[in-house]
């Protein structure tokens, strides 16, 4: 049962061939069997999940009309608050914190009857590309346990690839949904900024953070997208407009006459040869499906990474000031006579990891009065230029495409001492966040040289998210015909068979 897609699981529930309790228990059993090796989860909410499942089964038995994914289990990135459930954002500083409220994403999941299995591992405060920055130890890629599952949402992507959950929630500030999807052979979507509420999403960089669906198929991602998206008065940047019709698009997959723009600057030098091979092959399949392939240029993408590493740390230095040892989680040095300042210092010293401290220092520096214009101000101007590049390119095409990442999954430990090498993983995903538009990654096959998954990225204009699903569904269908089986069925190391 755990190998089915979420849509297939939902159909079995509707047909009465299984129950949500049985489905949930099957996934809890799978987690118990494989998660000591994978370490996708920081907390498994056995009782809470079964209770939710029982409630859905009871409603179904009573003949209530349920939403499409009712009764299907999901893994939740630990950056989302869930009332009463331990929430750490991968940080020691939040150890033991149980939020007093649900994030809007969680409220929406609950209202749709989606069963939350537990909280998934992540880089501390979503800063990283490998999940090695988690204070609770790394997650392992189910394709090869010695490799990274991507980051920051490596727990969510690994849970999908190891069949511990058919659906997951991720958040994407610079690529943390799409890059983990790419290196685990799964699907990840960063919706248009403002498309999914940020209320209860523990903030890293507020102008870039966006929650989105992670799944094993394009249709499953679309079903989850529609379940979590929509206007939320509790988030002032939430868009008050109808949710794009992504399920309809995922079911259609008709790309005849669509113009697909290949970004000249996001290919070539620095991209692994097998990544390029699979990318080119995907373009041919899309052309065969009736799309027109054109080349587009985005000259300012070259500066996106540098600008991101000023804007994101600047915003994080401000956002993370709230972890002051007074309000949440950890408190260190609280002895008689200690000042609030010394408790704050000691707690932040012990509670934050190296990468988080690096970014707080970087951001504080970039925002300081003498350097504000030179660094933060310039980065904001670059951000505008990147948006203009997208606007110009979208005059010539309906979606833009590129490889999701320059390489396949690297080894755990390979880049952990080299922040710049780590940052370069997001070279192709960051422009999307800078412009606030949508981006999807889906599997394009295995790189011939190492047999590891390659991701294909699709980018669409703001609030045109359905276009990514059209193109994603077309490519997924063409690749399925070519391979004869879904990519994940080819994973050699999938821990437990
Ligand atoms: N890897 C990028 C970073 O470290 C992006 C992270 C994310 O999207 N949350 O900032």
Helix axes 218-228, 465-483, angle to 10 degrees: 160
Given a cut of 70, is residue 37 above it in pLDDT? yes
Q: What is the pTM of this model?
A: 0.98
- Are 489 and 219 in contact by the 8 Å Cβ rule? The answer is no
Instruction: Evaluate if residue 26 carries a pLDDT over 80.
Output: yes
Average pLDDT, integer, range 432-460: 97
pLDDT of residue 495: 53
Q: Is the pLDDT of residue 9 over 70?
A: yes
Query: What pLDDT shows up at residue 393?
Result: 98
According to the model, what pLDDT value does residue 497 have? 47
Residue with tokens 């509420």: 197
Q: Which is nearest to 431 in space by CA: 359, 377, 383, 395?
A: 383
DSSP 251-262: HH---TT-EEEE
Is the pLDDT at 492 greater than 80, yes or no?
Answer: no
Instruction: Please answer whether residues 127 and 35 qualify as being in contact, where contact means their C-beta atoms are separated by less than 8 angstroms.
Output: no
Rounded to an integer, the average pLDDT of 230-249 is 98
Residue 233, pLDDT > 90, answer yes
Tell me the pLDDT of the chain averaged across its residues.
96
pLDDT in tens, 41-50: 999 999 999 9
Residue 341 scores a pLDDT above 90: yes
pLDDT above 70: residue 119: yes
CA distance 457 to 441: 5
pLDDT band at residue 493 under the 50/70/90 scheme: low
Q: Which range among 271-275, 350-354, 367-371, 396-400 shows the weakest confidence by mean pLDDT? A: 367-371
Rounded to the nearest angstrom, the distance between the alpha carbon of 343 and the centre of ligand 1 is 29
**Which is more confidently placed, 494 or 398?**
398
Alpha carbon separation from 294 to 24, 289, 400, 454, 469 (Å, rounded):
45, 15, 9, 22, 19
pLDDT in tens, 204-219: 999 999 999 999 999 9
Cα of 208 to ligand 1 centre, how many Å? 10
Q: Give the binding-site residues of ligand 1, using a 6 Å CB cut-off.
A: 126-129, 152, 172-176, 204, 312, 426
Residue 18: which residues within 8 A CB-CB, separation 6 or more?
Answer: 1, 9, 12
- Domains, in order of start, for the chain: 6-258+438-496 (3.90.1300.10)
Of 79, 126, 134, 209, the residue with max ligand 1 atoms within 8 A of its CB, to mutate for a pocket test, comes to 126
Interval 179-194: pLDDT, tens: 999 999 999 999 999 9
Residues 254, 257, 258, 260: is their CA dihedral positive or negative? positive
Q: Which atom of ligand 1 is nearest to the CA of 208?
A: 8
Nearest ligand 1 atom to alpha carbon 430: 5
Atom of ligand 1 nearest to the CA of 205: 9
Pocket test for ligand 1, best of 79, 121, 123, 406 (most atoms within 8 A of CB): 123
């Amino acid at each position: 049962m755990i190998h089915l897609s979420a849509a297939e699981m939902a159909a079995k529930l509707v047909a009465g061939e299984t129950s949500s309790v049985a489905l949930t228990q099957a996934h809890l059993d799978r987690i118990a069997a494989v998660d000591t090796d994978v370490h996708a989860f920081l907390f498994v909410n056995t009782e809470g999940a079964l209770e939710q499942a029982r409630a859905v089964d009871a409603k179904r038995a009573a003949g209530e009309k349920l939403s499409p994914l009712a009764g299907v289990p999901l893994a939740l990135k630990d950056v989302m608050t869930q009332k009463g459930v331990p929430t750490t954002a991968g940080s020691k500083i939040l150890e033991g914190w149980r939020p007093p409220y649900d994030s809007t994403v969680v409220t929406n999941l609950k209202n749709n009857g989606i069963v939350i299995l537990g909280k998934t591992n992540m880089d501390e405060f979503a800063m990283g590309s490998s999940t090695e920055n988690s204070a609770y130890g790394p997650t392992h890629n189910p394709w090869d346990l010695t490799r990274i599952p991507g980051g920051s949402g490596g727990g969510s992507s690994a849970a999908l690839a190891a069949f511990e959950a058919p659906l997951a929630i991720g958040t994407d500030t610079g690529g943390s949904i799409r890059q983990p999807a790419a290196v685990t052979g799964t699907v990840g979507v960063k919706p248009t900024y403002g498309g999914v509420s940020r209320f209860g999403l523990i903030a890293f960089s507020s102008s870039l953070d966006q929650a989105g669906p992670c799944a094993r198929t394009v249709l499953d991602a679309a079903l989850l997208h529609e379940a979590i998206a929509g206007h939320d008065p509790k988030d002032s940047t939430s868009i008050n407009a109808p949710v794009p019709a992504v399920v309809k698009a995922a079911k259609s997959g008709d790309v005849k006459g669509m113009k697909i723009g290949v970004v000249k600057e996001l290919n070539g030098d620095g991209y692994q040869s097998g990544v390029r091979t699979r990318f080119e092959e995907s373009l041919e399949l899309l052309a065969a499906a009736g799309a027109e392939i054109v080349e587009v240029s985005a000259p300012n993408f070259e500066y996106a990474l540098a600008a991101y590493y000023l804007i994101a740390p600047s915003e994080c230095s401000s956002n993370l000031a709230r972890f002051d040892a007074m309000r949440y989680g950890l408190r260190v040095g609280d002895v008689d006579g200690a000042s609030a300042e010394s408790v704050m210092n000691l707690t932040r010293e012990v509670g934050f990891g190296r990468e988080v401290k690096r970014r707080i220092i970087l951001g504080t520096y970039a925002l300081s009065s003498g350097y504000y214009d030179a660094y933060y101000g310039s980065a904001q101007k670059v951000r505008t230029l990147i948006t203009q590049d997208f606007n110009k390119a979208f005059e010539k095409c309906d979606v833009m495409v590129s490889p999701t990442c320059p390489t396949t999954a690297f080894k755990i430990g390979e880049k952990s001492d080299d922040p710049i090498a780590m940052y370069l993983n997001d070279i192709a995903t960051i422009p999307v966040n800078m412009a606030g538009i949508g981006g999807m990654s889906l599997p394009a096959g295995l790189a011939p040289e190492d047999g590891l998954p390659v991701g294909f990225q699709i980018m669409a204009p703001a609030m045109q998210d359905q276009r990514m699903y059209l193109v994603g569904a077309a490519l997924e269908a063409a690749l399925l015909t070519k391979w004869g089986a879904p990519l994940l069925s080819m994973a050699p190391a999938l821990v437990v068979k």
